Structure 1
Amino acid sequence: MRNFDMGEAWLIMIAMLKEHGVAVTLVMLATTVPFFALFYWLFSDFYLAAFENMNGDSQAMAGLMEGQSSLLGIVNIISWIASWTGCFIAWRLVLARGQDTTGGIIAYGFGAALMTTLAVITIYILFFIAMLFVGMVVALLAIGFASGGGVATAGTGPGLGPIFVLIYTGLLALMLFLLARFGTTGPLMAAKRSYNSFQALIDSWKLTKGNSLMLMLYLFIIGIAVALFMFALLVLAYFLTKISVALTLIVAVILYFSLIPLYLLVPAGIYRALADDSPAEAAASN
């Protein structure tokens, strides 16, 4: 187990970006844009009709939803698989070190995407059940505090504020912690050409052991940087709209797609920084 070095992970990620950034972007575009187009082609009339009936007949709205729900679910699952395929192709391309063919990378990406989609659906179901339980506990606590033993006071409401702030802050910290511990799952699978998502979760937990705080700080800093970048993008778009709406859209699309490699290469860089390779070997491999 190695100690996590933010500087090393950043340099590895930059090296990956220089070497594979364009290819990663093209892969993600090729596996996602067609399905956005398919989604628009299948459901544009549905959303237009739903918008027209938004303030109208509720039964008509229910009929529209019922008629499209099954198809919408199928298309969403297909889109998931396509998106995951792009992710695993990109990770395998970056981490294979030239030890795989183009056909092998594509085949692996599709197979890993299928298995990961099944794993994600399973985790979603378990997470939903867990959140129901947590929601029941929070609701019972809120009722207990609000009742105050059967006596309601004007100060009870404001007193609950800090409690919920602590709860939400704790949930955000938990999400960041889980992202730090399990964020290398995909890259780890791709590097080992594995299809077992659950085993990769265990291996990711072991790989990141002892580095939770540094990983959380690293991800937090990157998250803040991305948020500031997006804010600057919004400000730029506001001023560009006064010149040309078309120019605004072009600049926004270019800047948006420039971020696509980031959310794939950041975890790949973390994985490479924590793997058993030496820093020099890791940098040279990219």
Structure 2
Amino acid sequence: MNVGGLIREETCACASPSDTVALHTRASRTHSVSSARLQLFAAHKRFTVLLTSTTYSTEMSRHIYLAAVAFLAVVCIANAQRRLALPDPRSCANRVRHSTYRDARGVLHSYFFSWEHAPTRNLEVDWLDARNICRRHCMDAVSLETPQENEFVKQRIARGNIRYIWTSGRKCNFAGCDRPDLQPPNVNGWFWSGSGAKIGPTTQRNTGDWSYTGGYGQAQPDNREAAQGNDESCLAILNNFYNDGVKWHDVACHHVKPFVCEDSDELLNFVRSRNPGLRL
């Protein structure tokens, strides 16, 4: 999981079929994923009632069987949508790039801001969907690895008057995260999933841009929704949401927000290696 300080989400990554759908088409399809999950959960509850019934006819049994097959098919589709996406070569070549930025290390990347692209202007998706939209296009949700890059993105958020965005920031709370150097997770377990680079301890305020306040008036990350069973394990930037300026906040990953994509060297090199001559 960790090589040279990098953290990899091995339990989440898997191959998925490539496609050649343009960004706005992909985005519009993912826009309804969250509501579809709620409908799937409701259907599951209704279907469970049928399965536990003990007084049904043979004809009803046949209908229940067909409903079960249909339900399982929907579950399979829903599960497939929740996995990390592989890049699509044509989408990578045609990706929209709103700006480029060279950070203090000399790394030059292109960036996509969802609210600056007409087809995604009003799109808000959950954290994983945001990453997958980016990944289809050889990008990933933005990783703010230097103070300069952080300020670059924050200025763009302020200029667009955007309330909040997703980054690739993630708390290591999945299989393989039980190493001593990642404990406790809310202090030492944060990393940029787009690059695998670790984020400094949250107790050292000069190593990040965490807000000093939140919904409970506590310094971030506070894991505020844990009491409701929602681990706040994804990193969002909120624009003065708590009169605190443009700052980092830990947020439960199922919430929906606009997003920023950044070139992924790993995905670009992956596509180059398999598509000689493709201009990226």
Q: For the superposition of Structure 1 and Structure 2, which TM-score range results when normalised by the shorter chain? A: under 0.3
The structure with the greater share of residues assigned to strand is 2
TM-score, structure 2 normalization: 0.26
State which structure, 1 or 2, has the greater radius of gyration over its C-alpha atoms. 1
The structure with the greater share of residues assigned to helix is 1
